Structure 1
Amino acid sequence: MLTIILVAIIALLAGLAAGFFIARWYMKKYFEENPPISPDMIKQMMAQMGQKPSQKKLNQVMSSMKAQQKKKK
């Protein structure tokens, strides 16, 4: 009886640990492929700050964001 309980607890802990690392890996991959900030969102934020967003400025901001993501790896 004691061995069944110990095996169940060990299996539960192993499952939780594996689930955590799999979920973490999946979310990292998802956010690399689908960044949470789009060019339209940047354009909207710049307009709210009183700046007139040009395509050149949007491209600069997006490229700097991508460079920051690569540095974090």
Structure 2
Amino acid sequence: MTLWLAITLIIVALLAGAAIGFYAARQYMMKYLKENPPINEQMLRMMMAQMGRKPSEKQVKQMMNQMNKMQK
């Protein structure tokens, strides 16, 4: 009887640890991406300049808005 109780507790502890670990990792990544977005306006301007384009401020804002919409 105590063997089944021990096995059950181990399984419950593993499941709880996995759930808590997943939640903590998800929160950490969301915070990290909010503080360090994958691309910002300066990076966008540099990429467009490397492609031989001189973007206007309107174009940069449009691209940033499109990227933000895709992330949500």
TM-score by length of 1: 0.68
Within the candidate set 66, 69, 72, 2:68 is matched to 66
Identity of aligned residues (%): 54
Give the aligned residue type for 2:55: P
Between 24-33 and 41-50, report the one with greater CA deviation.
24-33
In the TM superposition, residue 8 of structure 1 has moved relative to its aligned partner by: 2.1
Give the aligned residue type for 1:14: A
TM-score by length of 2: 0.68
2:35 is the counterpart of 1:18: no
Q: Which is greater in Rg?
A: 2
| Cα distance per residue 1:4-39 (max 9 Å; x no partner) | 243123202211122112322332343245321011
Between 24-33 and 47-56, report the one with greater CA deviation.
24-33
5+ residue gaps, structure 1: none
In the TM superposition, residue 63 of structure 1 has moved relative to its aligned partner by: 2.1
What is the alpha-carbon root mean square deviation over aligned residues? 2.2
Structure 2 match to 1:52: 54
Number of residue equivalences: 70
